[in-house]
Amino acid sequence: MDVYESALDLIGGTPLVRIRTGGAAAVYAKLEYLSVGGSAKDRIGLRMIEQAEKDGLLRPGGTIVEATSGNTGIGLALAAAEKGYRIVLVVSDRVSAEKVDTLRAFGAGVVVKSSGLPREHPEHPISFAARLAETTPGGWLANQYDNPANPEAHYLTTGPEIWRQTEGRVTHLVSCIGTGGTISGAGRYLKEVSGNAVQVIGADPASSVYSGGDGRPYFIEAAGHFVHPDTTRDVWPTSYHLDVLDRIVPVADRQALDTLRQLARTQGLLVGGSSGTALAAAHRVAAAAGPDDVVVVILPDSGRQYLSKYFNDTWMLRLGFLDGDETAARVADAVPEGSDASPLPYVNTRADIAEALAVLRARALAGADPVLPAGPCPAGPERRPMAPELTGSVSLSAVEAALLHGTAAPSDRLADHLEPPLPHIGYGEPVEEALARLARHAHDTAVVLRDGCAQALITSSGLRAALPTPR
Ligand code: PMP
């Protein structure tokens, strides 16, 4: 019989498929979504568990604990289900709903933590998971960030598969970097087996610190390395072996998203956000490569996990990732020319109430009750806040009332007196829709986003000015 004895036998062994690029070099994508749990992380889930069993760290009746952006959780959860372990996974609130539901479907306990915290905060998913593992009887923290079994899983499976499948003709490997396990393990194997001939190239969200970005938030899940502005000591995973990489290609979110939406529509392959980042980088690598070159790009998971995000036009429009219908009145038509170049009026949440008050009073001449977005990042034209950084807002009327009633003091930190964030509208949204959403909020001011980044503030009268005048 041509059969498998368990789900664990269906991990990895994923195919390579040709991607049409128009360039001379051949590009083959490794479709990791065809692994049984739907991602490259199935490989490390099983390997980390089996190593822990061998080392006596995980025993029958034990509980597996991990902080995960979803896929490692799925990989661990399916192996835990097969092997009869309990499992608790800690995720941030920015992980897609599809992935969280999948974790629960495999019988895992899921703890959701806020994404807006620095790494050393006790409620950050990684710190929380470590504590949970320590305080749970029989608890074992998988710790993909620092577990040698993570890169090893790719050294033992992903790398050899690529070498075999290309009959040793692979010349370039392109992969995203999250924990670094995939690129470090597969890359090291391919370098060793080819006598260092294979070039290993990282693909990275443009603002990730791996490729030299400033660490501000981006919208591609599970890849790159974000640094919260309150972080005092940034820690990189030891699963990431920098010596294996020849170079890193930064890819803007917009380009990654355009690439993966295009791939679904032109080549019938539905892949996730980090796959878009990797593929956009692979296109660039292939453009500079020769006709005998064979570029292999790892596409870590499926687009089905992100139907509510990257393949949802409402989500894309609201964050300013789509241009919208250019024949209709759009938010873009209402944004004053040149606002891209001038700094966004903004208050840092590290300011005290007295400073915030001074900024708001200076604006009171222009508007009745000035309101400004606020968040924990340095302002200025060179450092425009990304949507997730705008954690709240501050208005003159609320600050004055709080001071009057003694519920706030001038020396208090603004962070402790924030009002809810201002509504966000995307520059490609129809004006009518933006107006309807703005009407449901307390303040008559919205933040206009382009490519997820705050461009300008606008009021309902500013938006209405872009509507055609009735005849
Ligand atoms: N893309 C996706 C969708 C992932 O889940 C991960 C792993 N978190 C990565 C990319 C990065 O892979 P690695 O952790 O092996 O660097």
Tell me how far the alpha carbon of residue 12 lies from the centroid of ligand 1, in angstroms: 15
Nearest to 390 by CA among 360, 345, 431: 345
What is the CA(450)–ligand 1 centre distance, in A? Answer: 26
Shared domain check, 20 and 46: no
In a domain, 236, yes or no: yes
CA proximity to 31, closest of 218, 265, 391, 300: 300
User: pLDDT exceeding 90 applies to what percent of the chain?
Assistant: 80
Residue 211 has a pLDDT of 96
* Alpha helical stretches, state H, 313-372: 313-318, 331-334, 353-363
Distance 257 CA to ligand 1 centre (A): 16
Residues 414 and 449 in one domain: yes
Containing domain of residue 188, as a range? 12-37+151-313
- Residue 265 located in a structural domain: yes
Ligand 1: atom nearest CA of 179 is 14
Q: Are residues 248 and 189 in the same domain?
A: yes
Nearest CA residue ID for atom 6, ligand 1: 222
pLDDT value for 229: 82
Q: What is the pLDDT of residue 95?
A: 85
Residue 244 lies in a domain: yes
- Mutation to probe ligand 1, out of 71, 102, 240, 279 (largest number of atoms < 8 A from CB): 71
Residues 376, 428: Cα–Cα separation, whole Å: 27
Report, as an integer, the average pLDDT of 368-393. 81
Query: Domain with 456 in it: what CATH number?
Result: 3.10.580.10
**Pair (381, 340) in one structural domain:** yes
Amino acid at 379: A
191 is catalytic: no
Residues 28 and 62 in one domain: no
Ligand 1: residues within 6 Å at CB? 39, 41, 69, 71-72, 176-182, 222-223, 272, 274, 300-301
For residues 301 and 439, state if they share a domain. Answer: no
* Minimum CA distance residue for ligand 1 atom 8: 222
Taking the C-alpha atoms of residue 409 and residue 352, their distance in angstroms, rounded to an integer, is 9
Per-residue pLDDT for 321 more than 80? yes
Ligand 1 center from residue 111 Cα (angstroms): 20
Instruction: Count Cβ neighbours within 10 Å for each residue of 141-150 and write b for 16 or more, e otherwise.
Output: bbbbbebebb
> Per-residue pLDDT averaged across 96-105, rounded?
91
Tell me the CA–centroid distance for residue 177 and ligand 1, in Å: 6
Catalytic residue among 41, 99, 191, 309: 41
Same domain, 289 and 335: no
Distance 352 CA to ligand 1 centre (A): 39
CATH code at 174?
A: 3.40.50.1100
| Atom of ligand 1 minimally distant from the CA of 150 | 15
Cα separation, 441 vs 432, in Å, equals: 15
Amino acid, res. 26: A
* CA 113 – CA 115 distance, rounded (Å): 6
Task: Based on the fold, state whether residues 99 and 247 are members of the same structural domain.
Answer: no
Instruction: From the CA of 180, give the closest atom in ligand 1.
Output: 16
Which segment, 269-278, 433-442, 458-467, is predicted with the most confidence on average? 269-278
User: Does residue 153 surpass a pLDDT of 90?
Assistant: yes
Ligand 1, atom 4, lies closest to the CA of 222
Using pLDDT thresholds of 50, 70 and 90, give the confidence band for residue 61: very high
Ligand 1 atom with the shortest distance to the CA of 273: 3
Place of tokens 């009887």: 137
Rounded (5°) CA angle 22-251-189: 80
Instruction: Retrieve residue 159's tokens.
Output: 């790398």
Q: Which residue has the higher pLDDT, 305 or 369?
A: 305
Q: How many domains does the chain have?
A: 3
Query: Do both 337 and 434 map to the same domain?
Result: yes
Q: Do residues 187 and 298 both lie within one domain?
A: yes
Judge whether residue 209 has pLDDT over 80: yes
Task: Return the SS3 of 453.
Answer: strand
Please give the Cα distance from 219 to 368 (Å, whole number).
35
The answer to whether residue 439 sits within a structural domain is: yes
